[in-house]
Amino acid sequence: MDINKTQNGDKTVFVLSGRLDTITAPKLEAVLIPEFDTAMDVELDFAGLAYVSSAGLRVLMKGLNTADAKGASMSVSNASEEIMEVFEMTGFSDILTIV
């Protein structure tokens, strides 16, 4: 999985491509969680993401919890139909901000 970080005004955007799975989830966690030390708005752009496993969902939940604890926000954009199905089946569509 590739992760590219950009700034869009006050928003940090992580553009992800590839697969978010057991092997790559720690890589996302290593950049996402510390970002909330300074960022108040983080967007995860899933346009290039092909797959999300339960390990990826765990990192998203940890990101949400960290954002809430710091008074920040986290959103997901450009999720494919397949990833949206995973979010809907797991209830993540109810807790994630999906734009």
Condensed to tens digits (0 to 9), the pLDDT of residues 60-80 reads 999 999 999 999 999 999 999
Find the CATH number of the domain harbouring 72. 3.30.750.24
Report the distance separating Cα 69 and Cα 89, nearest Å.
26
Q: What is the 8-class DSSP label of residue 78? A: S
Which of 20, 28, 34, 15 lies closest to 72, judged by CA? 34
Instruction: Give pTM, 2 decimals.
Output: 0.95
**Would you place residue 28 in the very low, low, confident or very high pLDDT band (cuts 50, 70, 90)?**
very high
**Would you place residue 10 in the very low, low, confident or very high pLDDT band (cuts 50, 70, 90)?**
confident
Number of separate domains in the chain: 1
CA angle 3, 40, 14 (to 5 degrees): 10
Report the distance separating Cα 59 and Cα 65, nearest Å.
10
CB 64 within 8 A of CB 96: yes
Which of 59, 45, 61 lies closest to 94, judged by CA? 61
Enclosing domain of residue 43? 2-78+85-98
